[in-house]
Amino acid sequence: MKILHVDSSILGGHSVSRRLSADIVARLKAAHPAAAVTYRDLGAEPLPHLSGAVLAAAQGPQAVSDEVAADLKAGAAVLEEILGADVIVLGAPMYNFGVSSQLKAWIDRIAVAGKTFRYTANGPEGLLKGKKAFVALTRGGFYGPDSGMNAFEHQESHLRAVFTFLGITEVNFVLAEGVNISPEQKAQSLAKAAGEIAALAA
Ligand SMILES: Cc1cc2nc3c(=O)[nH]c(=O)nc-3n(C[C@H](O)[C@H](O)[C@H](O)COP(=O)(O)O)c2cc1C
């Protein structure tokens, strides 16, 4: 089993989503000791935003600058990582109601027509079938159905759409919300998430 572990928080050692994604990976490793883990830290080593020059260069052979060549290489590397993975574990904080821009830059590199999805006469088809994903979501506030903030939630809904579009239908979300409300609330939300992770990996 090949696990791709991706973190996307910019908060380094203070990150909550990193803690949860590491917990998920540790439990998967305990259940599958032979599993190989590839780790990508989008916070420490951000991918450049997808640009018009890179998109044009990816369409066919042409002379490109060193900068564009390095950019294409970085994009190809993350694409290979997800194509080669059986399980994706993602740490995904909510920043300004959606995912971090670092994570969005990664999504822009893995959503590639002909590689991870294709358009057919019957509409789009995801090509990452058979893979499984675990997503650790963290939020400072609350965005559930009764919170009054549900319409602002573009984090889980976005990731659900992306994974589904790419053909990954088995996506397990673990949520720790309200982590910036108070230390007590944070502890409670993390304990709940830890329980969910233990149940997932059981
Ligand atoms: C730049 C930034 C934007 C944030 N935006 C939101 C937000 O829109 N809603 C929210 O509930 N929390 C927001 N937060 C709080 C984070 O979701 C919270 O701190 C969470 O723990 C982040 O996950 P992390 O610790 O793994 O980075 C924001 C935090 C940062 C640093």
- Output the CATH code of domain 2-201: 3.40.50.360
Query: What residue spans define the domains of the chain?
Result: 2-201
**CA 95 to ligand 1 center in whole angstroms:** 5
Determine what percent of the chain is predicted with pLDDT higher than 70: 99
Please identify, by atom number, the ligand 1 atom nearest to the C-alpha of residue 176.
21
Residue 89: count of CB within 10 angstroms of its CB:
26
Section 15-40 average pLDDT: 97
Question: 87 and 134 in contact (C-beta within 8 Å)?
Answer: yes
Average pLDDT value over all residues in the chain: 96
**Distance between CA atoms of 40 and 42, rounded to whole angstroms?**
6
19-26 average pLDDT score: 98
Atom of ligand 1 nearest to the CA of 10: 27
Segment 88-108 shows an average pLDDT of 98
Query: Does the pLDDT value for residue 37 go beyond 80?
Result: yes
Please say if the pLDDT value at position 201 is more than 70. no
Confidence of residue 46 (pLDDT cuts 50, 70, 90): very high
Query: What percent of the chain is modeled with pLDDT above 90?
Result: 95
pLDDT at 64 over 80: yes
pLDDT on residue 29: 96
Res 63: pLDDT: 84
- Whether residue 90 has its Cβ less than 6 Å from ligand 1: no
Mean pLDDT across the stretch 155-183? 98
Per-state percent for the chain, helix, strand, coil, to nearest 5 = 45, 20, 35
Contact 71, 105 (CB under 8 A): no
Counting from 1 in the atom list of ligand 1, the atom nearest the Cα of 143 is 11
According to the model, what pLDDT value does residue 202 have? 57
Q: Is the pLDDT of residue 59 over 90?
A: no
9 in ligand 1 pocket by Cβ < 6 Å?
Answer: yes
CA distances from 2 to 33, 39, 86 (A): 11, 11, 5
| CB of residue 139 inside a 6 A radius of ligand 1 | yes
Q: What is the pLDDT of residues 75-94, one digit of tens each?
A: 999 999 999 999 999 999 99
